[in-house]
Structure 1
Amino acid sequence: MTTPVVSVTPETGVSEVARLLLHRHISAVPVIDADGRLVGVVSEGDFLRRAEGDSHRHGSWWLRLFSEPTDNAAEYVKTHGRSAADVMTRDVVTVTEDISAGDVAHLLETKRIKRVPVLRDGKVVGIVSRADLLRGLAAQRDTPTATASVEDATIRKQILEEISAGDWAPTYGVSVVVVGGVVQIWGIVDSQEQSEALRVAAANVPGVKSVELNVSIIPAYAWSM
């Protein structure tokens, strides 16, 4: 999974959510209330519906005959609302940390979704996307004789803690895969310096045999153009 998780509150403005998605290089963000509960997700799809709102507001007269006023009202809120709570998708599929990668892949396929939040004690601790699954699969294929162990899990935990503790950490978050002591780091960084900092942070953790960086360097300003 990708961690740490960028989130917003139900009261966060729509324009602020849009800027956050651009700045953090992400396509969706969980919405978390004051009690730390996941209440929804705002994705690029929600903004696409918003962009289409005015062009489809009238629709075909014969389709309106079969539309329920309640459905039309809900659609109006999504396309004209000004807060995350207005535009978010409320029916969110989630998983826990102990689910297998195969089960996550099956869930994404059957539910036709691109990502799923990971919960621990009811709190969001990460997000697994289709890209994360591909990264894990690539790591396993690169080391066919090795399997992830308890020690690998410990190494991964220490690396993530070191990254999250630094004020240099990438704004997007990274995905870390450890198999047989070999670390693969995936994600998007703002600079070569951030990339090197990730390498050093991983290499300094006891038990790490080698570090492979699979990151793309995309400055934050490039996403706001």
Structure 2
Amino acid sequence: MVSTLKVDSLMSRNTISVLPTTTVADAARIMLANRISGLPVLDEHGRLVGIVTEGDLLRRAELGTAGEHGGWLRAFLMPATAAAEYVATHSRHVSGVMSHHPVFVTPETELSEVAMLMLRKHFKRLPVLKDGALVGMISRSDFLRVLARKLIETAEPCSDAAIGDFIRTELRHAPWAPRSGIKIDVKNKVVNVEGTIFSDEERQAVLVIAENAPGVKTVQDHLTLVDPASGIAFPAA
């Protein structure tokens, strides 16, 4: 499963980086030419000092998106903040627009942890460090490549009995699944699902378990939805 894999198995090792002195124009051209959303920024000793992304370049004076930085009142009350925002929207060099102290992962970080970090913080790419040195990058597209490969992998031939056992085992381990009342019948790799569920979400989840069983050709839904409040039953359409 993907959740047990480590960053080392997925990361891109041919990393493109820039210097703090690289111009914003050059950084933008590099991102466009290589179809990437961000670049690690290394100092003259090869140490990671920041990251510059598409998001860092959204607010720019050249685009008319810099804004007014809060106007004169903010400049008067918080001059340092206003000055920093001016640099970020007008600087010609990466050092002025990059994000400092970037979040990073290591080759031994589990992919499940990286995925949650990307979702929680809205990261598209993360630098990978080993002993303080940049050794790669991992991006959302790396996850998509693994997903696409796994979705098209040819399942090994399975018997009807093995398919049924797989589905029943998955249902037993699913905390949301009804404890009883779900009947699984498999014939010629066609799964017939019968029984009672209490929400449409449960129905969809049961059917997903069935269709993910290795070797399944199709799934027939004969589940009956019972409204918990009224007790009214709604058979499958």
Choose 76-85 or 135-144, whichever is displaced more. Answer: 135-144
Size of the aligned set, in residue pairs, is: 146
1:24 corresponding residue in structure 2 = 34
1:33 corresponding residue in structure 2: 43
Give TM-score, length-normalised by structure 2.
0.55
In 1, the alpha carbon distance for the partners of 2:155 and 2:108 equals 23
C-alpha separation between the residues in 2 aligned to 1:69 and 1:53?
24
Pairing partner for 1:90 from 95, 100, 117:
100
Code of the residue aligned with 2:83 in structure 1: it is A
In the TM superposition, 1:20-169 aligns within 5 A as: 20-51=30-61, 54-58=64-68, 64=74, 68-143=78-153
Distance 2:81 2:70 in 1: 15
Task: Map Cα deviations across residues 96-123 of structure 1 (whole Å, 9 max, x no partner).
Answer: 0011111110111122211111112211
Residue identity (%): 45
The 1:6–1:56 alpha-carbon spacing in structure 2 relative to 1, beyond 3 Å, is: closer
AA matched with 1:76:
Y
Quote the offset at 1:51 in angstroms.
4.7
**Cα 1:97–1:60, aligned 2, differ >3 Å: closer, same or farther?**
closer
User: Per the alignment, do residues 97 and 77 of structure 1 end up closer, same or farther by CA in structure 2, a change over 3 Å counting?
Assistant: same
| CA displacement, residues 4-46 of structure 1 (integer Å, 9 cap, x when unaligned) | 0000111111111111112222111110001111011111111
Q: Runs ≥4 in structure 1, deviation > 6 angstroms? A: none
- Structure 1 residue 49, shift from structure 2 partner: 1.4
Structure having the higher Rg: 2
Give the Cα separation in 2 of the matches to 1:115 and 1:80.
Answer: 24
Partners of 1:143 and 1:72 in 2: CA distance: 53
Deviations 1:70-101 (A, max 9, x none): 11111111111111111111131100001111
Aligned counterpart for 1:2 among listed residues 6, 12, 19: 12
1:53/1:73 CA distance change after superposition, 3 Å:
farther
**1:120–1:60: structure 2 CA closer, same or farther, 3 Å change rule?**
closer
Flag structure 2 segments of 5+ consecutive residues without an equivalent.
1-10, 157-237
Could you tell me how far apart the structure 2 residues matched to 1:35 and 1:90 are? 17
Match of 1:170 in 2: none
Q: How much does 1:53 deviate? A: 7.1
Preserved contact between residue 53 and residue 79 of structure 1 (Cα < 8 Å)? no
- 1:53–1:23: structure 2 CA closer, same or farther, 3 Å change rule? closer
Q: Which residue of 2 aligns with 1:206?
A: none
Other-structure match for 1:179:
none
**Structure 1 residue 64: Cα displacement:** 3.0
